[in-house]
Amino acid sequence: MEKIPSIHTSTLGIDFGTSNSAVSWAQDGGLARLLPLEGQELSMPTAVFYNAEERRTHFGRDALAQYLAGTEGRLMRSLKSLLGSPLLLEKTEVNHQQISYQDIIATFLAELRQRAARALGAAPTRVVMGRPVHFVDDDPERDALAQRSLHEAALAVGFEQVSFQLEPMAAALDHERRLARESLVLVVDLGGGTSDFTVVRLGPQRMAQADRSADVLATSGVHIGGTDFDQKLSLEQVMPLLGFRHQGPQQREVPSRVFFDLATWHLIQWQYQPRAISQAQALRVNYADVQLHARLMAVLEHRHGHHMAHEVEQAKIRCSQQDRSTAIDLSIVEAGLHAPLQTADLQGHLAALLARTVACARDCVQRAGLRDGELDAIYLTGGSSALRPFQRALQVEFAGVAMVEGDLFGGVASGLAYSGAGMGP
Ligand SMILES: Nc1ncnc2c1ncn2[C@@H]1O[C@H](COP(=O)(O)OP(=O)(O)OP(=O)(O)O)[C@@H](O)[C@H]1O
Ligand SMILES: [Mg+2]
Protein backbone atom coordinates (compact mmCIF):
# COMPACT_ATOMS: atom_id res chain seq x y z
CA MET A 1 0.00 0.00 0.00
CA GLU A 2 1.30 3.49 -0.86
CA LYS A 3 2.63 5.52 2.06
CA ILE A 4 1.18 9.03 2.13
CA PRO A 5 2.10 11.65 4.74
CA SER A 6 -0.72 13.24 6.79
CA ILE A 7 -1.88 16.86 6.66
CA HIS A 8 -3.13 18.25 9.95
CA THR A 9 -3.95 21.79 8.85
CA SER A 10 -6.86 22.65 6.56
CA THR A 11 -9.95 20.56 6.26
CA LEU A 12 -11.50 18.16 3.86
CA GLY A 13 -15.20 18.40 3.13
CA ILE A 14 -16.97 15.14 2.34
CA ASP A 15 -20.45 15.09 0.91
CA PHE A 16 -21.35 11.43 1.41
CA GLY A 17 -24.52 11.36 -0.64
CA THR A 18 -27.19 8.72 -1.07
CA SER A 19 -26.50 8.59 -4.80
CA ASN A 20 -23.27 10.55 -5.35
CA SER A 21 -20.35 11.68 -3.23
CA ALA A 22 -17.96 14.59 -3.65
CA VAL A 23 -14.88 15.79 -1.80
CA SER A 24 -13.52 19.29 -1.52
CA TRP A 25 -10.55 20.98 0.03
CA ALA A 26 -10.01 24.55 1.21
CA GLN A 27 -7.17 26.25 2.97
CA ASP A 28 -8.01 29.01 5.41
CA GLY A 29 -9.24 31.99 3.41
CA GLY A 30 -8.79 30.18 0.09
CA LEU A 31 -11.25 28.97 -2.52
CA ALA A 32 -12.59 25.45 -2.15
CA ARG A 33 -11.36 23.02 -4.75
CA LEU A 34 -13.35 19.92 -5.66
CA LEU A 35 -10.96 17.01 -5.87
CA PRO A 36 -10.94 14.62 -8.83
CA LEU A 37 -12.25 11.25 -7.68
CA GLU A 38 -12.51 9.12 -10.80
CA GLY A 39 -10.24 10.33 -13.61
CA GLN A 40 -11.16 14.00 -13.89
CA GLU A 41 -14.68 13.54 -12.50
CA LEU A 42 -15.41 15.67 -9.44
CA SER A 43 -18.12 13.46 -8.00
CA MET A 44 -18.70 9.74 -8.04
CA PRO A 45 -21.66 7.44 -7.52
CA THR A 46 -21.88 6.15 -3.95
CA ALA A 47 -21.60 2.58 -5.17
CA VAL A 48 -19.50 -0.41 -4.17
CA PHE A 49 -19.25 -3.58 -6.23
CA TYR A 50 -17.72 -6.74 -4.80
CA ASN A 51 -16.45 -8.64 -7.80
CA ALA A 52 -16.79 -12.35 -7.06
CA GLU A 53 -14.80 -13.46 -10.11
CA GLU A 54 -11.61 -11.62 -9.17
CA ARG A 55 -12.37 -11.00 -5.48
CA ARG A 56 -11.81 -7.27 -5.99
CA THR A 57 -13.74 -4.25 -4.76
CA HIS A 58 -14.79 -1.54 -7.21
CA PHE A 59 -16.14 1.93 -6.52
CA GLY A 60 -18.20 4.62 -8.23
CA ARG A 61 -18.75 4.49 -12.00
CA ASP A 62 -16.41 1.54 -12.17
CA ALA A 63 -18.66 -0.36 -9.70
CA LEU A 64 -21.77 0.40 -11.77
CA ALA A 65 -20.06 -0.55 -15.01
CA GLN A 66 -18.95 -3.89 -13.57
CA TYR A 67 -22.46 -4.66 -12.37
CA LEU A 68 -24.15 -3.55 -15.59
CA ALA A 69 -21.72 -5.61 -17.66
CA GLY A 70 -23.00 -8.68 -15.82
CA THR A 71 -19.86 -9.46 -13.81
CA GLU A 72 -20.61 -11.94 -11.02
CA GLY A 73 -20.70 -10.10 -7.69
CA ARG A 74 -22.68 -7.85 -5.33
CA LEU A 75 -23.60 -4.22 -5.88
CA MET A 76 -24.24 -1.90 -2.93
CA ARG A 77 -26.07 1.39 -3.47
CA SER A 78 -27.98 3.92 -1.35
CA LEU A 79 -25.85 2.98 1.67
CA LYS A 80 -26.68 6.27 3.37
CA SER A 81 -30.34 5.24 3.54
CA LEU A 82 -29.32 2.50 6.00
CA LEU A 83 -27.87 4.95 8.55
CA GLY A 84 -30.12 4.98 11.61
CA SER A 85 -31.68 1.63 10.66
CA PRO A 86 -31.10 -1.70 12.43
CA LEU A 87 -30.14 -3.11 9.01
CA LEU A 88 -26.86 -1.18 9.27
CA LEU A 89 -25.31 -3.76 11.58
CA GLU A 90 -26.75 -6.73 9.79
CA LYS A 91 -24.07 -8.85 8.16
CA THR A 92 -24.05 -9.88 4.57
CA GLU A 93 -21.78 -12.28 2.76
CA VAL A 94 -19.44 -10.87 0.17
CA ASN A 95 -16.62 -12.89 -1.30
CA HIS A 96 -16.90 -15.49 1.49
CA GLN A 97 -16.66 -12.87 4.23
CA GLN A 98 -19.39 -11.71 6.59
CA ILE A 99 -19.40 -7.90 6.72
CA SER A 100 -21.86 -5.33 7.99
CA TYR A 101 -23.25 -2.40 6.03
CA GLN A 102 -21.45 -0.14 8.51
CA ASP A 103 -18.20 -1.78 7.31
CA ILE A 104 -19.19 -1.18 3.69
CA ILE A 105 -19.77 2.52 4.43
CA ALA A 106 -16.32 2.67 6.06
CA THR A 107 -14.80 0.96 3.02
CA PHE A 108 -16.33 3.62 0.79
CA LEU A 109 -15.14 6.48 3.03
CA ALA A 110 -11.64 4.99 3.16
CA GLU A 111 -11.60 5.00 -0.62
CA LEU A 112 -12.71 8.66 -0.74
CA ARG A 113 -9.99 9.56 1.75
CA GLN A 114 -7.36 7.72 -0.22
CA ARG A 115 -8.39 9.31 -3.50
CA ALA A 116 -8.32 12.74 -1.83
CA ALA A 117 -4.87 11.98 -0.46
CA ARG A 118 -3.68 11.05 -3.92
CA ALA A 119 -4.96 14.36 -5.32
CA LEU A 120 -3.42 16.36 -2.47
CA GLY A 121 -0.20 14.39 -2.02
CA ALA A 122 -0.98 13.90 1.67
CA ALA A 123 -3.75 12.33 3.74
CA PRO A 124 -6.00 14.82 5.53
CA THR A 125 -6.80 14.15 9.18
CA ARG A 126 -9.60 16.72 9.62
CA VAL A 127 -12.94 16.36 7.94
CA VAL A 128 -16.29 18.10 7.89
CA MET A 129 -19.01 15.71 6.82
CA GLY A 130 -22.37 16.77 5.50
CA ARG A 131 -25.57 15.57 7.08
CA PRO A 132 -29.18 16.02 6.01
CA VAL A 133 -31.48 18.02 8.27
CA HIS A 134 -33.03 14.65 9.18
CA PHE A 135 -31.36 11.32 8.48
CA VAL A 136 -34.56 9.78 9.84
CA ASP A 137 -37.89 11.64 10.01
CA ASP A 138 -39.61 12.12 13.38
CA ASP A 139 -37.19 9.97 15.37
CA PRO A 140 -34.45 11.99 17.12
CA GLU A 141 -32.87 8.88 18.64
CA ARG A 142 -32.42 7.05 15.38
CA ASP A 143 -31.35 10.31 13.78
CA ALA A 144 -28.58 10.75 16.38
CA LEU A 145 -27.60 7.12 15.90
CA ALA A 146 -27.23 7.73 12.16
CA GLN A 147 -24.77 10.58 12.73
CA ARG A 148 -22.86 8.56 15.33
CA SER A 149 -22.49 5.66 12.91
CA LEU A 150 -21.13 7.96 10.21
CA HIS A 151 -18.81 9.57 12.76
CA GLU A 152 -17.48 6.15 13.82
CA ALA A 153 -16.92 5.15 10.21
CA ALA A 154 -14.90 8.35 9.62
CA LEU A 155 -12.73 7.69 12.70
CA ALA A 156 -12.27 4.07 11.65
CA VAL A 157 -10.73 5.10 8.33
CA GLY A 158 -8.14 7.42 9.87
CA PHE A 159 -9.71 10.84 10.29
CA GLU A 160 -8.81 12.28 13.68
CA GLN A 161 -11.11 15.29 13.89
CA VAL A 162 -14.60 14.85 12.53
CA SER A 163 -17.35 17.46 12.55
CA PHE A 164 -20.72 17.78 10.86
CA GLN A 165 -22.50 20.50 8.96
CA LEU A 166 -26.05 20.58 7.58
CA GLU A 167 -25.99 19.88 3.86
CA PRO A 168 -28.23 22.84 2.86
CA MET A 169 -26.11 25.18 5.00
CA ALA A 170 -23.00 23.94 3.21
CA ALA A 171 -24.68 24.60 -0.14
CA ALA A 172 -25.52 28.12 1.12
CA LEU A 173 -21.89 28.83 2.06
CA ASP A 174 -20.81 27.86 -1.44
CA HIS A 175 -23.48 30.02 -3.06
CA GLU A 176 -22.51 32.97 -0.85
CA ARG A 177 -19.14 33.28 -2.60
CA ARG A 178 -20.92 34.43 -5.72
CA LEU A 179 -23.17 37.04 -4.11
CA ALA A 180 -22.42 40.73 -4.49
CA ARG A 181 -24.88 41.92 -1.83
CA GLU A 182 -26.65 40.73 1.26
CA SER A 183 -29.57 38.41 0.40
CA LEU A 184 -32.18 36.28 2.11
CA VAL A 185 -32.17 32.96 0.32
CA LEU A 186 -34.20 29.77 0.51
CA VAL A 187 -31.64 27.04 -0.19
CA VAL A 188 -33.15 23.87 -1.61
CA ASP A 189 -31.07 20.69 -1.70
CA LEU A 190 -32.95 17.86 -3.34
CA GLY A 191 -30.75 14.79 -3.54
CA GLY A 192 -31.15 11.05 -3.87
CA GLY A 193 -32.43 10.38 -0.36
CA THR A 194 -33.53 13.61 1.28
CA SER A 195 -34.92 17.07 0.59
CA ASP A 196 -33.33 19.73 2.75
CA PHE A 197 -34.16 23.39 3.13
CA THR A 198 -32.74 26.36 4.91
CA VAL A 199 -33.58 30.04 4.92
CA VAL A 200 -30.35 31.89 5.43
CA ARG A 201 -28.98 35.41 5.34
CA LEU A 202 -25.97 35.48 3.04
CA GLY A 203 -23.62 38.22 1.93
CA PRO A 204 -20.01 39.19 1.33
CA GLN A 205 -19.80 40.99 4.68
CA ARG A 206 -20.98 37.93 6.56
CA MET A 207 -18.57 35.37 5.16
CA ALA A 208 -15.76 36.17 7.54
CA GLN A 209 -17.77 35.46 10.69
CA ALA A 210 -16.84 32.15 12.26
CA ASP A 211 -20.22 31.50 13.84
CA ARG A 212 -23.05 31.78 11.33
CA SER A 213 -25.83 30.38 13.49
CA ALA A 214 -27.52 33.79 13.77
CA ASP A 215 -27.82 33.91 9.98
CA VAL A 216 -29.77 30.65 9.79
CA LEU A 217 -33.41 31.67 10.08
CA ALA A 218 -34.89 28.19 9.76
CA THR A 219 -34.19 24.67 8.49
CA SER A 220 -36.46 21.81 7.51
CA GLY A 221 -36.05 18.47 5.86
CA VAL A 222 -37.95 15.42 4.77
CA HIS A 223 -36.85 11.96 3.83
CA ILE A 224 -37.87 12.19 0.18
CA GLY A 225 -35.44 12.22 -2.72
CA GLY A 226 -34.70 10.89 -6.18
CA THR A 227 -34.58 7.27 -5.02
CA ASP A 228 -38.20 7.62 -3.82
CA PHE A 229 -39.15 9.00 -7.22
CA ASP A 230 -37.47 5.97 -8.81
CA GLN A 231 -39.34 3.64 -6.45
CA LYS A 232 -42.70 5.20 -7.27
CA LEU A 233 -42.09 5.17 -11.03
CA SER A 234 -40.94 1.58 -10.86
CA LEU A 235 -44.03 0.51 -8.91
CA GLU A 236 -46.37 2.27 -11.30
CA GLN A 237 -44.76 1.49 -14.63
CA VAL A 238 -42.49 -1.53 -14.22
CA MET A 239 -43.57 -3.78 -11.36
CA PRO A 240 -47.00 -4.54 -12.90
CA LEU A 241 -45.01 -6.42 -15.58
CA LEU A 242 -43.84 -8.77 -12.80
CA GLY A 243 -47.25 -9.14 -11.18
CA PHE A 244 -47.73 -6.07 -8.96
CA ARG A 245 -51.52 -5.44 -8.67
CA HIS A 246 -52.10 -8.58 -10.75
CA GLN A 247 -55.33 -10.34 -9.82
CA GLY A 248 -54.93 -14.04 -9.34
CA PRO A 249 -57.47 -16.74 -8.57
CA GLN A 250 -60.48 -15.46 -6.55
CA GLN A 251 -59.70 -11.90 -7.72
CA ARG A 252 -57.07 -11.53 -5.04
CA GLU A 253 -53.98 -9.44 -5.76
CA VAL A 254 -50.52 -10.98 -5.53
CA PRO A 255 -48.99 -10.03 -2.12
CA SER A 256 -47.06 -6.86 -2.89
CA ARG A 257 -44.06 -6.81 -0.56
CA VAL A 258 -41.55 -8.22 -3.05
CA PHE A 259 -42.46 -5.52 -5.57
CA PHE A 260 -41.92 -2.72 -3.06
CA ASP A 261 -38.56 -4.14 -2.03
CA LEU A 262 -37.45 -4.72 -5.59
CA ALA A 263 -38.33 -1.10 -6.43
CA THR A 264 -36.35 0.29 -3.47
CA TRP A 265 -32.64 0.86 -4.16
CA HIS A 266 -31.35 -0.03 -0.68
CA LEU A 267 -33.54 -3.14 -0.26
CA ILE A 268 -32.86 -4.79 -3.60
CA GLN A 269 -29.91 -6.88 -2.46
CA TRP A 270 -31.99 -8.66 0.20
CA GLN A 271 -34.27 -10.13 -2.45
CA TYR A 272 -31.55 -12.44 -3.70
CA GLN A 273 -31.17 -14.37 -0.47
CA PRO A 274 -32.31 -18.00 -0.62
CA ARG A 275 -35.18 -17.34 1.79
CA ALA A 276 -36.50 -14.43 -0.27
CA ILE A 277 -36.23 -16.50 -3.45
CA SER A 278 -38.22 -19.38 -1.98
CA GLN A 279 -40.88 -16.97 -0.69
CA ALA A 280 -41.17 -15.52 -4.19
CA GLN A 281 -41.36 -19.03 -5.61
CA ALA A 282 -44.32 -19.75 -3.34
CA LEU A 283 -46.23 -16.77 -4.82
CA ARG A 284 -46.89 -18.78 -7.98
CA VAL A 285 -50.31 -19.91 -6.74
CA ASN A 286 -51.35 -16.26 -6.44
CA TYR A 287 -50.96 -15.63 -10.17
CA ALA A 288 -53.56 -16.22 -12.88
CA ASP A 289 -50.93 -15.43 -15.52
CA VAL A 290 -47.95 -17.57 -14.55
CA GLN A 291 -45.81 -15.90 -17.20
CA LEU A 292 -45.67 -12.82 -14.99
CA HIS A 293 -44.46 -15.00 -12.15
CA ALA A 294 -41.79 -16.56 -14.37
CA ARG A 295 -40.59 -13.03 -15.15
CA LEU A 296 -40.39 -12.15 -11.45
CA MET A 297 -38.38 -15.29 -10.78
CA ALA A 298 -36.04 -14.56 -13.69
CA VAL A 299 -35.36 -11.07 -12.26
CA LEU A 300 -34.55 -12.49 -8.84
CA GLU A 301 -32.53 -15.45 -10.03
CA HIS A 302 -30.46 -13.42 -12.47
CA ARG A 303 -30.21 -10.49 -10.04
CA HIS A 304 -31.53 -7.84 -12.40
CA GLY A 305 -32.98 -5.61 -9.66
CA HIS A 306 -30.38 -2.85 -9.69
CA HIS A 307 -30.25 -2.91 -13.45
CA MET A 308 -34.00 -2.29 -13.64
CA ALA A 309 -33.79 0.48 -11.03
CA HIS A 310 -30.98 2.05 -13.05
CA GLU A 311 -33.11 1.98 -16.23
CA VAL A 312 -36.02 3.59 -14.36
CA GLU A 313 -33.70 6.32 -13.05
CA GLN A 314 -32.24 6.98 -16.50
CA ALA A 315 -35.72 7.18 -18.04
CA LYS A 316 -36.81 9.62 -15.29
CA ILE A 317 -33.86 11.89 -16.07
CA ARG A 318 -34.43 11.66 -19.86
CA CYS A 319 -38.13 12.37 -19.53
CA SER A 320 -37.44 15.38 -17.29
CA GLN A 321 -34.54 16.83 -19.27
CA GLN A 322 -36.18 16.47 -22.69
CA ASP A 323 -39.70 17.15 -21.42
CA ARG A 324 -40.75 14.29 -23.67
CA SER A 325 -42.17 10.81 -23.23
CA THR A 326 -39.66 8.00 -23.24
CA ALA A 327 -39.40 4.23 -22.70
CA ILE A 328 -37.91 2.31 -19.79
CA ASP A 329 -35.68 -0.30 -21.38
CA LEU A 330 -36.25 -3.72 -19.81
CA SER A 331 -34.56 -5.83 -22.48
CA ILE A 332 -32.22 -7.18 -19.81
CA VAL A 333 -35.25 -9.05 -18.45
CA GLU A 334 -36.74 -10.17 -21.75
CA ALA A 335 -35.93 -9.32 -25.36
CA GLY A 336 -38.00 -6.34 -26.53
CA LEU A 337 -39.58 -5.66 -23.13
CA HIS A 338 -40.04 -2.02 -22.19
CA ALA A 339 -42.42 0.18 -20.22
CA PRO A 340 -43.61 3.60 -21.35
CA LEU A 341 -42.90 6.71 -19.31
CA GLN A 342 -44.90 9.73 -20.41
CA THR A 343 -44.43 13.28 -19.19
CA ALA A 344 -47.93 13.03 -17.68
CA ASP A 345 -46.82 9.89 -15.76
CA LEU A 346 -43.81 11.72 -14.37
CA GLN A 347 -46.00 14.59 -13.26
CA GLY A 348 -48.90 12.45 -12.03
CA HIS A 349 -47.05 9.65 -10.22
CA LEU A 350 -44.73 12.05 -8.43
CA ALA A 351 -47.35 14.67 -7.56
CA ALA A 352 -47.96 13.48 -3.97
CA LEU A 353 -44.24 13.18 -3.14
CA LEU A 354 -43.53 16.56 -4.70
CA ALA A 355 -46.40 18.15 -2.79
CA ARG A 356 -44.87 16.94 0.50
CA THR A 357 -41.47 18.28 -0.55
CA VAL A 358 -42.87 21.68 -1.49
CA ALA A 359 -44.84 21.74 1.79
CA CYS A 360 -41.56 21.22 3.63
CA ALA A 361 -40.06 24.21 1.78
CA ARG A 362 -43.13 26.26 2.72
CA ASP A 363 -42.75 25.19 6.34
CA CYS A 364 -39.15 26.41 6.34
CA VAL A 365 -40.08 29.87 5.04
CA GLN A 366 -42.98 30.07 7.47
CA ARG A 367 -40.76 29.20 10.42
CA ALA A 368 -38.29 31.83 9.29
CA GLY A 369 -41.16 34.30 9.71
CA LEU A 370 -40.86 35.61 6.16
CA ARG A 371 -43.33 36.60 3.50
CA ASP A 372 -42.41 35.42 -0.03
CA GLY A 373 -41.76 39.00 -1.09
CA GLU A 374 -38.91 39.18 1.43
CA LEU A 375 -37.03 36.27 -0.19
CA ASP A 376 -34.38 37.44 -2.64
CA ALA A 377 -33.99 34.06 -4.30
CA ILE A 378 -34.50 30.33 -4.18
CA TYR A 379 -31.19 28.55 -4.70
CA LEU A 380 -31.43 25.02 -6.14
CA THR A 381 -28.86 22.31 -5.63
CA GLY A 382 -28.80 18.49 -5.60
CA GLY A 383 -29.48 16.32 -8.65
CA SER A 384 -33.23 16.01 -8.10
CA SER A 385 -33.70 19.78 -8.00
CA ALA A 386 -33.36 19.60 -11.79
CA LEU A 387 -36.57 17.55 -12.00
CA ARG A 388 -38.94 19.58 -14.14
CA PRO A 389 -42.18 18.75 -12.28
CA PHE A 390 -40.46 19.73 -9.01
CA GLN A 391 -39.32 23.09 -10.36
CA ARG A 392 -42.82 23.74 -11.69
CA ALA A 393 -44.44 22.87 -8.36
CA LEU A 394 -41.98 25.04 -6.44
CA GLN A 395 -42.48 27.97 -8.79
CA VAL A 396 -46.26 27.73 -8.38
CA GLU A 397 -45.88 27.76 -4.57
CA PHE A 398 -43.40 30.65 -4.55
CA ALA A 399 -44.72 32.65 -7.49
CA GLY A 400 -42.54 35.60 -8.38
CA VAL A 401 -39.45 34.51 -6.42
CA ALA A 402 -36.40 34.08 -8.67
CA MET A 403 -34.98 30.55 -8.87
CA VAL A 404 -31.24 30.13 -9.32
CA GLU A 405 -29.76 26.78 -10.35
CA GLY A 406 -26.42 26.10 -8.68
CA ASP A 407 -23.74 23.44 -8.87
CA LEU A 408 -25.97 20.36 -8.62
CA PHE A 409 -23.34 17.82 -7.59
CA GLY A 410 -20.44 19.76 -6.05
CA GLY A 411 -21.94 22.65 -4.11
CA VAL A 412 -22.43 20.84 -0.81
CA ALA A 413 -18.87 19.47 -0.74
CA SER A 414 -17.39 22.90 -1.48
CA GLY A 415 -19.44 24.48 1.28
CA LEU A 416 -18.33 21.78 3.71
CA ALA A 417 -14.69 22.66 3.07
CA TYR A 418 -15.56 26.33 3.72
CA SER A 419 -17.21 25.45 7.00
CA GLY A 420 -14.05 23.61 8.02
CA ALA A 421 -11.71 26.48 7.23
CA GLY A 422 -10.95 28.23 10.48
CA MET A 423 -11.50 25.08 12.57
CA GLY A 424 -8.00 25.60 13.95
CA PRO A 425 -4.92 23.37 13.91
N1 LIG B 1 -31.43 15.92 -14.57
C2 LIG B 1 -32.00 15.31 -13.55
N3 LIG B 1 -33.35 15.37 -13.37
C4 LIG B 1 -33.92 14.75 -12.31
N5 LIG B 1 -33.26 14.04 -11.39
C6 LIG B 1 -31.93 13.95 -11.53
C7 LIG B 1 -31.23 14.57 -12.60
N8 LIG B 1 -29.90 14.29 -12.46
C9 LIG B 1 -29.80 13.53 -11.36
N10 LIG B 1 -31.00 13.32 -10.80
C11 LIG B 1 -31.31 12.55 -9.57
O12 LIG B 1 -30.61 13.18 -8.53
C13 LIG B 1 -30.35 12.23 -7.49
C14 LIG B 1 -28.92 12.38 -7.03
O15 LIG B 1 -28.71 13.69 -6.62
P16 LIG B 1 -27.49 14.05 -5.66
O17 LIG B 1 -26.22 13.51 -6.21
O18 LIG B 1 -27.57 15.50 -5.40
O19 LIG B 1 -27.94 13.22 -4.38
P20 LIG B 1 -27.10 12.82 -3.11
O21 LIG B 1 -26.32 14.00 -2.66
O22 LIG B 1 -26.35 11.59 -3.41
O23 LIG B 1 -28.27 12.47 -2.08
P24 LIG B 1 -28.60 13.07 -0.63
O25 LIG B 1 -28.10 14.46 -0.59
O26 LIG B 1 -30.11 12.98 -0.54
O27 LIG B 1 -27.92 12.14 0.30
C28 LIG B 1 -30.63 10.87 -8.09
O29 LIG B 1 -31.85 10.38 -7.54
C30 LIG B 1 -30.77 11.14 -9.57
O31 LIG B 1 -31.68 10.27 -10.19
MG1 LIG C 1 -26.70 15.58 -1.40
Please tell me the distance between residue 226's alpha carbon and the centre of ligand 1 in angstroms.
6
Inter-CA distances, 281 with 208, 241, 276, 301, Å: 62, 16, 9, 11
pLDDT higher than threshold 60 for residue 107: yes
pLDDT reported for residue 6: 66
* 225 CA: nearest ligand 1 atom: 26
Q: Which residue has the higher pLDDT, 160 or 3?
A: 160
| pLDDT band at residue 267 under the 50/70/90 scheme | very high
Task: Give the pLDDT confidence score for residue 425 in this predicted structure.
Answer: 40
Atom 4 in ligand 1: residue holding the nearest Cα: 387
Q: Which ligand is nearest to the CA of 230?
A: 1
* pLDDT of 9 higher than 80: no
Question: Are 73 and 50 a contacting pair, CB within 8 Å?
Answer: yes
Contact 193 CB / ligand 1 (< 6 Å): yes
Q: What is the mean pLDDT of residues 386-412?
A: 97
- CB contact burial 247-285 (16+ within 10 A = b; e otherwise): ebeeeeebeeebbebbbbbbbbbbbeeeebeeebeebee
Percent of the chain with pLDDT over 90: 90
Compute the distance from residue 359 Cα to the ligand 1 centre, in Å: 20
pTM of the model as a whole: 0.94
Side chain identity at residue 73, one-letter code: G
> How confident is residue 424, by pLDDT bands cut at 50, 70 and 90?
very low
Evaluate if residue 10 carries a pLDDT over 90: no
Average predicted confidence (pLDDT) for the chain: 94
Phi first, then psi, for residue 297 (nearest 5°) are: -65, -35
Q: Is 95 exposed, middle or buried (0-12, 13-18, 19+ CB in 10 A)?
A: middle
At 30, the pLDDT band (50, 70, 90 cuts) reads confident
DSSP letter (8 states) at residue 253: B
**Ligand 1 site, residue 226, Cβ cutoff 6 A:** yes
